Amino acid sequence: MQPATNHGTNWRGSRDAWLDAAFELLLESGVDSVKILPLAKRLNLSRTSFYWFFKDREALLDALIERWRQKNTQGLVRQTEAYAESIVEAILNVFDCWLNPELLDSQLEFAIRSWALQSDEVSREIDIADETRIEALTRMFVSHGYDTLAANVRGRTIYLTQIGYISMKAQEALEVRMRRIPAYVEIFTGQAPQLRELQRFHARHGYTPEVTS
C-alpha cells in the first residue's frame, strides 16, 4: 500500500488522516505496528504533528476503538431500527450491512477482533459490542411478533453467521451472495421473501439478476 500524502497547506494533517493511517497499519501488520513515527512517515508529516490531535499513542488506539464502535455497532443497530413493513424487509435492511462497508466495515471488524486476542480491554469491548448487536437484532424480531426466546435465537444465528464470514475472511462473488439471500432470509425468519422485496434490495446494491430462459 502506498504511503498517504498530505497535500495542501495543513502541515499537521488532520485527525481523520492520522486515524486512517493507523487503521491501515492495523490491517497490514497488527496493533503493535501502530506507532507514531511510522504513521508520521506514512503521512509525510512531522512526528510532533501527531500531538495536535492526540495526547499519546493510547489516545490514538482509543480513537480507533471509538471509530469501530460508532461505525460498525451503531451501523448495525441503526439498520435493525430502520422502517420495515415485514420481518423479511427488516432482515434485508440488516443484510445491507453485509454488502455496504459504509454501514459495517468487515475489514475493520476483523482487525479489531484480531487485536482483541492480544488485549483483555479490547476483548471486553468486543463482548459489549456483541451483546449490543444481538440485543438489537432480538428487539427487531420481537417488534415483528416473535416471542423473546425465538427472537434471541434467530438474532444470534444471523449475527454469529456473519461474524463467521468475517472471521474466516470468506469471499463470495456478488452473484453468488445474491442467489443465496432468499434462502438465508427464509431460514432466519421462516418466511420466503417476495419478489418486490428482493427487487428493492437488489436495487439498493446495484444488482441486476441474470435472466434465464
Distance CA 53, CA 137 (A): 36
Cell of 62: 482509543
Query: Which pLDDT score, from 0 to 100, does residue 210 have?
Result: 79
pLDDT at position 108 is: 93
Q: What is the rounded distance in angstroms from the CA atom of residue 34 to the CA atom of residue 163? A: 24
pLDDT at 13: 81
Give the Cα-Cα-Cα angle 150, 156, 158 (nearest 5 degrees): 105
Cα 199 to chain centroid distance, Å, stands at 24
CB-hemisphere CA count at 13 Å for 13?
Answer: 26
DSSP-assigned states of every residue in 39-91: HHHHHT--GGGGGGT-SSHHHHHHHHHHHHIIIIIHHHHHHHHS--SSHHHHH
Residue 9: what pLDDT?
38
The set of long-range contacts for 179-187, using a CB threshold of 8 Å and a minimum separation of 24, is: 181/92, 181/95, 184/95, 185/88, 185/91, 185/92, 185/95
Are 34 and 60 in contact by the 8 Å Cβ rule? The answer is yes
Instruction: List the chain residues with pLDDT less than 70.
Output: 1-11, 211-213
Q: What is the pLDDT of residue 90?
A: 98
